[in-house]
Amino acid sequence: MSSEHKLCACPLDCFDICSMRAEIINGKVIKLEGNKDHPVTQGFICEKGRKHIERMYSPLRIKQPMKKENGEFVEISWDEAIDTIAGKLMHYIDTYGTLSIAQYNDGGAGGLLKNVENLFFDYLGNATLFKGSLCWGAGIAAQQSDFGHVKGHSPEDILNAKTIIIWGRNPVETNMHLVPFIKKASEQGAKVVLLDPITTGTAALSNWHIQLKPGGDAAFAIAAAKYMIESKLYDEAFVQNNTRGFNEIKAYMESLNYKELLEVCGSDLESVKRFVELLTSKPATIYIGYGVQRYNNGGVTVRAIDMLGALAGIIGISGGGVNYANKIYGDYINWKAVAPKTKTNHRYIAKSKFSVELSNLDNPKVKAMFISRSNPAVQLPNALETVAALNKIEFKVVLDYFMTDTAKLADIVLPVTYFMEETDIVYSSMWNGCMFYNEKLVDRYFQTKPEYEIYSLLAKRLGINEFPQMNEIQWINVLLSGSDNHTINIDQLKSDTYIFAEEAKAIPWSDHKFNTASGKFEFPDVFTLRKFMEDAKQKNEGHFQLLTVHTRESLHSQHLMTSKITYPEVFICKDDAQGLDVCNKEIVRLQNQFGSLTAEIVISDKIQKGVLYMKEGWWFKNGGSVNNLTSHELSDIGNQATYNECRIKIIKLGANNE
Ligand SMILES: Nc1nc2c(c(=O)[nH]1)N[C@H]1C(S)=C(S)[C@@H](COP(=O)(O)OP(=O)(O)OC[C@H]3O[C@@H](n4cnc5c(=O)[nH]c(N)nc54)[C@H](O)[C@@H]3O)O[C@H]1N2
Ligand SMILES: Nc1nc2c(c(=O)[nH]1)N[C@H]1C(S)=C(S)[C@@H](COP(=O)(O)OP(=O)(O)OC[C@H]3O[C@@H](n4cnc5c(=O)[nH]c(N)nc54)[C@H](O)[C@@H]3O)O[C@H]1N2
Ligand code: SF4
Ligand SMILES: [Mo]
């Protein structure tokens, strides 16, 4: 019996990207545990991390390519799969051109080489692609506008903060390795403030939970800014030397009254004052989550929070920062080395608009679609129309491990290798500023292939001779060979298995040189703030606002695959339940203009009046996707999905009150 231990990283689309220690016996991984020596992982991983072994060896894995024949899937060889796909592609390209081929993917699992699939579509010609984000797009666009880049402080730096403001993030469920840092900072005397419409598990870690109305945060931030400016509590030196647009902001603040601001966010002036006192107890740090920007005005909300960071002068100092994400590793990748020589002109639609725009595309229509690392039938907004749009596409190829609700709609399903069966580079752009070398730990258990290999085969079969035919080590070496001014020491990365790049350890913006056109921090323009206030005053009476949040037990739909529940739960406060005459565990119908969903009532004191919440990710077998109810509309900037901008009615079953 040969037993060995190796390090690897969890590649799930998570803030934490844990360093894991794998035990391998006779070529099989038998145990995964948190690496005790890693400063962020600190020796523990979550349930989803531990489940990797079960999922890799699961009898439910797709074991070899599958083809749909007369509505049923049959197993086929890789040769037949590649031949069939290549034949279809040639037919569609000859008849309709390359724009009739679409590619959709997302971040189901990270991995640098996963991006080789994007390159394939560049080499193919002008394809139909998707832009924007289901996830974080409005906030990214906001920080790009304000700072010119998106950078975060290293996890440890939070220990230098006196005040920690968690704004619409729920680390207890979604970013659990932030929790020990918050607890330690708290023990050292830091004050923790949470802003969330729900009393989440994170509220229990906080000294003060501010429960605002959903989507009202920008009004609270503007009120705080107004008070800081009026009371001269802002950092005048920072504002004068490092920002642009202050005078306009100041004049606008003077024109506003607190009453209307506080009505929009559901707070009071005493809370605003107390908040400002904590924010200006330097250093204060702000951690923004992604739930707060899944609104029509998601971009301006994050810009308003950034504005508070600049006014408080907490930018560029240890223990400070407005932390949203950390996109520095993108700067280290040498994409140019593998870019096609001729520039392509792809056709783009926003991801969120899949349901309403895909079928309307013409000249040419989309005939074939590749879907990878994603479960759009469940996760895209306006799910019922998304499925209808998918059904209209003649030929669909899905790359996944499992027969998801999306894979079931495909014509060909290609099984991909699990991360422990392939070599790749993994890093997080969300929080943990670490890059990992994930070496292959075990042989492929089923007849699976990594994406780069699948697309290499397809390129060869289609005669795309320029497409680089490289193995995974060659791909890694080329992609990490250094961009214009950033270099990774590959040898060190390989031997240590992970590194923190210099920039990941540095305090962002400490030189006060921002990447904006002016070189300064840019305050949001007054027009944007005014529009937010005008929109916010339009109420949607008679409807509940439904928030769909991420949950500890699953990474979106992935770990709900084996869930046995009949209907998902919808959380409602006691007053609202009484008003509707519904009781705990009652089965009701949730309905709006996009569709309906059957759900089980849970009466909870965690939610405020007029607001409901559900966990997202449920499969069709569990009563349907929560996205049956969500809107395909986009946020103000960043082409972001607006899942939380969801108004519904609750209908008692059997009642004739529709
Ligand atoms: N276990 C687990 N971890 C995950 C994921 C997962 O699915 N499961 N998903 C990963 C991914 S892809 C992402 S994007 C992140 C998301 O991570 P988070 O941003 O932490 O999670 P969300 O559930 O999107 O939203 C966080 C909080 O925003 C709150 N919120 C909603 N509307 C508002 C508002 O108007 N104002 C304020 N202040 N708060 C609001 C919600 O109530 C929720 O508690 O998590 C990552 N980590
Ligand atoms: N209502 C509502 N909807 C939401 C959200 C919300 O808050 N509310 N959150 C949104 C957010 S933040 C996000 S990021 C999206 C996520 O949307 P998706 O990324 O579509 O969600 P997942 O359920 O994680 O699906 C990923 C799929 O990729 C597969 N997969 C995993 N690893 C690999 C791999 O290495 N290769 C391939 N080819 N496949 C792999 C998994 O088996 C799984 O089926 O959902 C969005 N949808
Ligand atoms: S899902 Fe996140 S917290 Fe869990 S093991 Fe993976 S990286 Fe760590
Ligand atoms: Mo996400």
* pLDDT band at 540; cut points 50, 70, 90: low
CATH of the domain at 449: 3.40.50.740
Provide the 3-class DSSP secondary structure of residue 37.
coil
Taken in order 212, 213, 217, 222, is the CA torsion positive or negative? Answer: negative
Same-domain status, 623 and 550: yes
Same-domain status, 265 and 370: no
CATH of the domain at 7: 2.20.25.90
Same-domain status, 250 and 301: yes
Same-domain status, 37 and 160: no
Beta bridge partners of 285: 164
Q: What are phi and psi of 545, to 5 degrees?
A: -95, 120
Q: For position 337, what pLDDT does the model report?
A: 84
Q: Residues lining ligand 1, CB < 6 A?
A: 13-15, 135-136, 167-170, 173-175, 195-198, 200, 212, 214-215, 217, 289-292, 547, 549-552, 554-556, 644
CATH of the domain at 565: 2.40.40.20
Average pLDDT, the chain: 96
Residue 232 belongs to domain spanning? 137-324
* Residue 656 clears pLDDT 60, i.e. is over it: no
State if residue 109 touches ligand 3 by the CB under 6 angstroms criterion. Answer: no
Q: For position 1, what pLDDT does the model report?
A: 66
Same-domain status, 546 and 621: yes
Helices (H), ranges, 195-346 = 217-230, 236-242, 246-255, 258-265, 269-279, 298-312
DSSP 164-206: EEEES--HHHH-GGGHHHHHHHHHTT-EEEEE-SB--GGGGG-
Beta-strand relationship, 163-167 and 284-288? parallel
Residue 240, domain member (yes or no):
yes
Same-domain status, 300 and 396: no
Same-domain status, 365 and 450: yes
Residue 522, domain member (yes or no):
no
Residue range 374-431, pLDDT digits in tens: 999 999 999 999 999 999 999 999 999 999 999 999 999 999 999 999 999 999 899 9
Same-domain status, 412 and 469: yes
Domain boundary, last residue among 276, 292, 324: 324
Q: For position 423, what pLDDT does the model report?
A: 97
Residue 285, domain member (yes or no):
yes
Residue range 277-323, pLDDT digits in tens: 999 999 999 999 999 999 999 999 999 999 999 999 999 999 999 99
Domain boundary, last residue among 504, 532, 567: 504
Same-domain status, 174 and 233: yes
Residue 79, domain member (yes or no):
yes
Q: What number does the ligand 3 atom closest to the CA of 16 have?
A: 7
Q: For position 459, what pLDDT does the model report?
A: 97
Same-domain status, 52 and 80: no
Residue 372, domain member (yes or no):
yes
> In testing the pocket of ligand 2, which one of 17, 174, 379 has its CB within 8 Å of the most ligand atoms?
379
Question: What's the gap in Å between 41 CA and the centre of ligand 3?
Answer: 9
* pLDDT band at 91; cut points 50, 70, 90: very high
C-beta atoms surrounding 67 within 10 Å? 17
Average pLDDT over residues 171-180: 98
Domain boundary, last residue among 36, 56, 76: 56
What distance in Å separates the CA atoms of residue 220 and residue 409, rounded to the nearest whole number?
Answer: 44
Same-domain status, 39 and 85: no
Residue 277, domain member (yes or no):
yes
* Residue 357 clears pLDDT 70, i.e. is over it: yes
**Domain count across the chain:** 4
Same-domain status, 298 and 417: no
Residues with CB under 5 A from ligand 4 (ion): 135
Distance of CA 236 to the CA centre of its chain: 35
Reading across the β-sheet that carries 19-25, which strands appear in turn?
3-9, 19-25, 28-34
Q: For position 658, what pLDDT does the model report?
A: 47
Residue range 95-115, pLDDT digits in tens: 999 999 999 999 878 899 999
Average pLDDT over residues 497-520: 96
Percent of the chain with pLDDT over 70: 99
CB 315 within 8 A of CB 238: yes
CATH of the domain at 189: 3.40.228.10
Average pLDDT over residues 568-597: 98
Residue 532, domain member (yes or no):
no
Percent of the chain with pLDDT over 90: 93
Locate 495 and state its tokens. Answer: 């031997």
Residue 355, domain member (yes or no):
yes
